[in-house]
Structure 1
């Protein structure tokens, strides 16, 4: 855990905050965030497909 000047824990900033200010980020920081968000989109799409497949299976079973 990191501590500030007064020995208070410093809250680690979120990897990305939707709608947050991007002005202070470098090109490298922006590229890292883009990669992070692309990976998160893939994870979300995979979960959506998994749930959709379960829904389709349930629908076909109860028809």
Structure 2
């Protein structure tokens, strides 16, 4: 990796919390809404998985 690699423009994130939305079209806003809804579903699934693991551990150690 050379020092020139650091000067490359970084790919923008799909969505940045708090970003200015005024320049986005309705279609772009819908795309971001969809991305965020999918991310929320992924987070909720992981939360549920961890809660089940915690429940199993609590049940194991209570016996």
- What TM-score comes out, normalization by structure 2 length? 0.85
User: Which residue does the alignment assign to 1:40?
Assistant: 39
Count of residues in Structure 1 that have an aligned counterpart in Structure 2 = 56
User: Which residue does the alignment assign to 1:12?
Assistant: 11
Segments of 5+ residues of structure 1 without an aligned counterpart are: 1-7
Over the aligned positions, Cα root-mean-square deviation in angstroms equals: 0.8
Greater relative contact order (CA < 8 Å, ≥ 6 in sequence): 2
User: Which residue does the alignment assign to 1:21?
Assistant: 20
Structure (1 or 2) with the greater helix fraction: 2
User: Which residue does the alignment assign to 1:56?
Assistant: 55
Segments of 5+ residues of structure 2 without an aligned counterpart are: 1-6
